[in-house]
Chains A and B, each alone.
Chain A
């Protein structure tokens, strides 16, 4: 038989309730934020993902481009290209906490799934810098092809992929030995690389080639080259850059640059199923943690478009700073 337990007093109940409300409020303040780097505005803009309104804009280093977040959501990493550094920014105050050694002109980077190290593409020096973010210490510098840009780490953290824009290659780098283990030739000017969550496919966009190559990382073969065709828009204008794949691996979204559209691709059959009109020169993309929203940076129209992922509809475009480049959404 269970022992009789007195009911908690009303005051205690109130305290518990208030406490849990406070906890809930603190959680809400952390999650539900998107952060956009404004390349010409030299700033980052915070957007509330519920109200889709700008909550704050803060000055950062010069020419901010690549932007990612630590897996715990406590730090924003930002490539301040003209300051030749990676800045660590507090997501709440948007203040620059510290600067990391990035090597010259960092543009894009990728974080190891464990949160450390950071792999930075140094476009001018044709190399990838591997940086311990906690110690701010360069672990290795890996020479790659000319003008490296796109960076992706496999979900198991064993392979780093760097795409070089002029060599037109995706370099596969072993994250233990820091040696290039394979190169895959793709179409002209590869800009961005993205692994599927299961690590079985790698999407590499080619800006000038106008295609997205889907590579099987196990065989290093290109399974499919996805091309795009939008009625009324010239072929040359279609320049794929940012790519994001849903975690179930079923749908890919491709930003088509000056074509002002985001392509929706069936990531299993590789058929393009839709084109969504967004702002001018759409560059990078980021999902909300529940993958119900996709944020796009539109560099020439200075705004961010929000796509309703399940319904495949652009619901809103939000004005941000000058030339928005990269976007990241805080993890839940």
Chain B
């Protein structure tokens, strides 16, 4: 087939086409991930620093209480591991959103958004790509943690996969919405301050919620409404072969809401970008 694109016949976008679109986006994200060795390294070093240094310092300072899903007392490094795994996904979700802002600035998003596939499918593919990358990081981290003595039952690694996929979707969807709001790459530092840090610290990742409640009821409520807490608890329960329905409902619900918001936000006619007249270099 030759000639201008206008000559291409209009044909329905079949399932195969959707699959090609998805694999293209995922492949691009994976290539980008593989080529950015520093990104992988920093994604791994961050939680490992928490595990090796912070958790070692707090080893006996946490206080003792058995909370589900644990059957007995656990060392602090065992407690923080699920939270650190989901923290990797949090950073990854935000990093994907950073790449969206970057794509917008350099214009490669224009190529993506001119694709004939519906906008939601493009965003969904982008989300899947982010989740796949985050899963690689999470399981490498869990392997290093295992060597450090954080032994999780073998079935836990398998059972936690759906939990990590779901939490990856949720954090990616939140990242997408944020990326639609951030106009320039420079503004991304504020995402760190106003999104990543509050979500991570005001959660059950570093300390059990009963401990937070002892300190402040308001902080406890903040932790409870933080979807990151539920992502951590969903993963924590799954790693020990247990299911936390509340956490699952919150994570699934948050994913749907934020994904819907992202679809609206990226709709040039209706979304935030449309209202703003679109960022520089983008068609509105």
Contact = CB atoms under 8 A, between A and B. Distances in A.
A277 B66 contact: no
Contact of A279 (B64, B71, B75): B64
Given A231-B59, A232-B56, A232-B60, A277 B71 contact: no
B60 A233 contact: yes
Interface in A274-324: 277-280, 301, 303, 305-306, 314-317
A244 B58 CA distance: 30
A233 B61 CA distance: 10
Contacts of A87: none
A314 B66 CA distance: 13
A261 to B, nearest CB: 10
A280 B64 contact: yes
Interface in B24-78: 56, 59-61, 64, 66, 71-75
Contacts of B64: 260, 279-280, 301
A175 B56 CA distance: 50
A279 B60 contact: no
A150 to B, nearest CB: 27
A184 B73 CA distance: 37
Contacts of A278: 72-73
A26 B71 CA distance: 30
B60 A315 contact: no
Interface in A65-88: none
A152 B66 CA distance: 34
Contacts of A315: 71-72
Nearest to A237: B60
A301 B73 CA distance: 11
A300 to B, nearest CB: 9
A317 B71 contact: yes
B59 A317 contact: no
Contacts of B72: 277-278, 305-306, 314-317
Contact of B59 (A232, A280, A301): A232
A133 to B, nearest CB: 36
Nearest to A234: B60
Nearest to A233: B60
Contacts of A316: 71-72
Contacts of A317: 66, 71-73
Contacts of B74: 277
A199 B118 CA distance: 80
A305 B73 contact: yes
Contacts of B59: 231-232
A36 to B, nearest CB: 16
B155 to A, nearest CB: 15
Nearest to B59: A232
A306 B71 CA distance: 10
B178 to A, nearest CB: 38
Given A260-B64, A301-B64, A317-B66, A277 B73 contact: yes
Nearest to B60: A232
A301 B66 CA distance: 10
Interface in A222-260: 231-233, 260
A303 B73 CA distance: 11
Interface string B66-94: 10000111110000000000000000000
Contacts of A279: 64, 73
A278 B75 CA distance: 10
Contacts of A231: 56, 59
Given A260-B64, A280-B64, A301-B64, A314 B56 contact: no
Nearest to A301: B64
Nearest to B57: A232
A231 B66 CA distance: 21
- Chain A CB within 10 A, most for which of B61, B66, B74: B66
A277 B66 CA distance: 12
B203 to A, nearest CB: 24
Contacts of A301: 64
Nearest to A280: B64
Contact of B73 (A232, A233, A314): A314
Nearest to B58: A232
A156 B60 CA distance: 43
- A-B CB proximity, top 3 nearest: A317-B72, A232-B59, A316-B71
23 contacts: A231-B56, A231-B59, A232-B56, A232-B59, A232-B61, A233-B60, A260-B73, A277-B72, A277-B74, A277-B75, A278-B72, A279-B64, A303-B66, A305-B72, A305-B73, A306-B72, A314-B73, A316-B71, A316-B72, A317-B66, A317-B71, A317-B72, A317-B73
Interface of B: 56, 59-61, 64, 66, 71-75
Given A232-B61, A279-B64, A303-B66, 19 more contacts: A232-B60, A233-B60, A260-B73, A277-B72, A277-B74, A278-B73, A280-B64, A301-B64, A305-B72, A306-B72, A314-B72, A314-B73, A315-B71, A316-B71, A316-B72, A317-B66, A317-B71, A317-B72, A317-B73
